[in-house]
Amino acid sequence: MSILSIDIGGTFIKYALMDQDAAILSRGKIPTPQKGRTELVEAIGRLYDDMPDVEGIAISMPGIIDSENGYCVMGGALGYNDDFYFRHVLYERCPVKIVIENDAKCAAMAEARMGALKDVSDGPVLIEYIRRHLNQLYSDCPYRIPRAEIVTCKFQNDANLYGAMQCYLENVRM
């Protein structure tokens, strides 16, 4: 089984062909179309055409996403996706199983299932608690001290690709 995992960003679309164990078989990036949704669907369609034996597509994208219905309520950085049944239109171009999720949720899913938070039962809550209290400490401190950066992401810039894949796998198991 190979899945085309896609991270749609405001500037680039990153993509990876992944196996069922989320190992990256090939990867790349292309510019994100700025004109509109038709161009976006066609750009993803060309990626699909170039990948052999793709059984499904997993998409991480900005905005408010109704993943159950494949509907983009609000496109975030890509306003042309507002009020758009993205999965339905993309399926007409790429007739395979397609799962779509919000990019922040994908990144969190990658860390929770496979990454830095994998074995931490309340990991996301703990990280947010530490961040909030550190910010309070910095604002209360009478001295100017360098801010510590909390790095929690095992996957760096690939978190959305892995998270989209995790969403796809969970959706397929249902």
User: Are the CB atoms for 153 and 159 separated by under 8 Å?
Assistant: yes
* Fold assignment, 2-106+156-173: Nucleotidyltransferase; domain 5 (3.30.420)
Return the bridge partners of 8, or none.
13
pLDDT in tens, 120-131: 666 655 556 665
Rounded CA-CA distance 36/74 in Å is 14
In order of 46, 68, 137, 143, 144, the CA distances from 140 in angstroms are 53, 44, 5, 9, 10
Residue type for 142, please?
A: P
pLDDT digits (tens, 9 = 90+) for 68-99: 999 999 998 899 999 999 999 999 999 999 99
Contact 19/73 with Cβ under 8 angstroms? no
Give tens-digit pLDDT for 31-71. Answer: 999 999 999 999 999 999 999 899 999 999 988 899 999 99
Specify burial of residue 51 (Cβ count, 10 A radius: 0-12, 13-18, 19+).
middle
- pLDDT score of 167: 80
Tell me what the pLDDT averaged over the chain comes to. 83
